[in-house]
Amino acid sequence: MQQIKGQKVSFQQINKLAIPSIIAGISEPLLSIVDTAVVGNIQENPTEALAAVGIAGSFIAAIFWVLGQTRAAISAIVAQYVGEKRLEKLQSLPSQIICFNLLISLGIYLLTFFLAQQIFSVYNAEGLVLTYAVDYYKIRALGLPLSLFIFTIFGVFTGMQNTFYPMMISIAGALLNVILDFLFVYGVEGFILPMHVKGAAYASLISQGLMAILALRLLYKKTPFKLNITFQFHPELKRMFGLSLNLFLRALALHITMYFANSYATSYGAAYIAAQTICFQIWLFFAFFIDGYASVGSIISGKQKGEKNFLGLQVLVKDLNRYAIIVSLILAFFCFLGYNSIGKIFTSNAQVLEVFTSVFWLVLLTQPINAIAFVYDGVFKGLAEAVVLRNTLFIATFIGFLPSLLFCNQYDLKLTGIWVAFAIWMCFRSGILFFYFNRIYLLKKR
């Protein structure tokens, strides 16, 4: 276990945690990007298939973000116990959380399985887009329990200041997914029939199965925790559920944002939701890339809170913001260099590419603001300030995003209006957390 001491965490120490976390983090959006690129280049109805994967994928991501908040909660609690040097007191907590996540995710899968057509109809999907979205979802969503299982174990590792094992597990899953995507979607003549959209879903599901097996093996070999089921609830379970509930409500607000963005894009036509899918996958890639530094904030801030090292926390936040902004600017710069080529990776449809290039500059322009928001998200998760995060998302969604989206739609700005609303949403998120941290934590003494 890595110990981080002193007032200032060095650049080397931050990157020792951040780089594996970045690699682990971007594997998830890379899976979606590969699915998007492979499906967008099939010969049969590529625009409809791309739109369907975008709609179903965003719905799955929303469920995952809602249910996956226990990862941040358990990471914060484990990190604080590491700082207090009493990790052995948490022995039964991870297994109880894993059981809870599995039961909840299975229940949600069964419910949404039978209502999938109605759910995606609410997104304004119809015809082939609706058919493909339902087909993709019913297979891909089987991986929800596996994903929550994996991310709970990742939360244990990150709380113990270890981002290396999550990185290795994520790399293995991403590589398998890429291989299976090409095999299942396009097929292999004489061996595997082309499975179209369903193939991409099967590829992701099998990859998640591999990651779950690797995560379980490493949990047993590299941590003091075991999946011993006990009916005597751990004392921290109440706080765990309190943190998770507030993060759950926060994620619901996030889901509302994603729903309205995709619903409006779908109502503008197949080319618009296809272009929105590409923009959003790239936005997610940036988010998960920068989230590597946010994860460091979550890991170390929880430990510093346990040590009552608030001066070190203040220095950490300043450094993380600087590094995250630099990374976001570098990523945006390279995207600007390939501005007219990036969309062609995902589709050859001229109308989709025209819509995409008309709005992609806005996606890139807001990245430094996003970087600040993601860093503060990570830090506040590590500090177990779930109420602050919940309230911030509610304000950003209902006062920032939705009024902006309705205003832009009134003036028929279409996809540009959606991303203007996204930009305002991120300004609210970063601004509120910045001012709250400066008002509360800059006053604390070590």
SS3 348: coil
Mean pLDDT of 78-95: 78
Task: Please report where in the chains the tokens 């297994």 appear, as a residue.
Answer: 95
Instruction: Find all residues with CB under 8 Å of 54, minimum gap 6, and list them.
Output: 36, 262, 273, 274, 276, 277, 280, 281
Global pTM? 0.73
Mean pLDDT of 426-432: 96
pLDDT tens sequence across 140-165: 889 888 888 888 898 888 888 788 89
Mean pLDDT of 126-131: 90
Split at pLDDT 50, 70, 90, the class of 68 is low
Q: Which of 411, 103, 121, 427 is nearest to 267 (CA)?
A: 121
Six-digit token string for 163: 């981002």
Where helices occur in 144-236 by DSSP H, the ranges are 144-159, 164-186, 196-222
Distance CA 69, CA 245 (A): 8
Backbone phi and psi for residue 86, each to the nearest 5 degrees, phi listed first: -145, 45
Across the chain, what does the average pLDDT equal?
85
The 10 Å CB-count burial string (b at 16+, else e) for 28-54 is: bbbbbbbbbbbbbbbeebbbbbbbbbb
Q: What is the pLDDT of residue 6?
A: 46
Tell whether the model's pLDDT for residue 79 goes beyond 90: no
Q: Which of 430, 432, 407, 433 is nearest to 420 (CA)?
A: 407
Half-sphere exposure in the Cβ direction for 440 (13 Å, CA): 11
Residue 439: Cβ within 10 Å count: 9
Q: What is the pLDDT of residue 444?
A: 60
SS3 42: coil
Tell whether the model's pLDDT for residue 5 goes beyond 70: no
Tell whether the model's pLDDT for residue 341 goes beyond 50: yes
Query: Worst-scoring range by mean pLDDT, 20-29, 45-54, 327-336, 384-393?
Result: 20-29
Q: Cβ-count burial of 116 within 10 angstroms (0-12 exposed, 13-18 middle, 19+ buried)?
A: buried
Six-digit token string for 128: 């082939």
Between 54 and 116, residue with greater pLDDT: 116
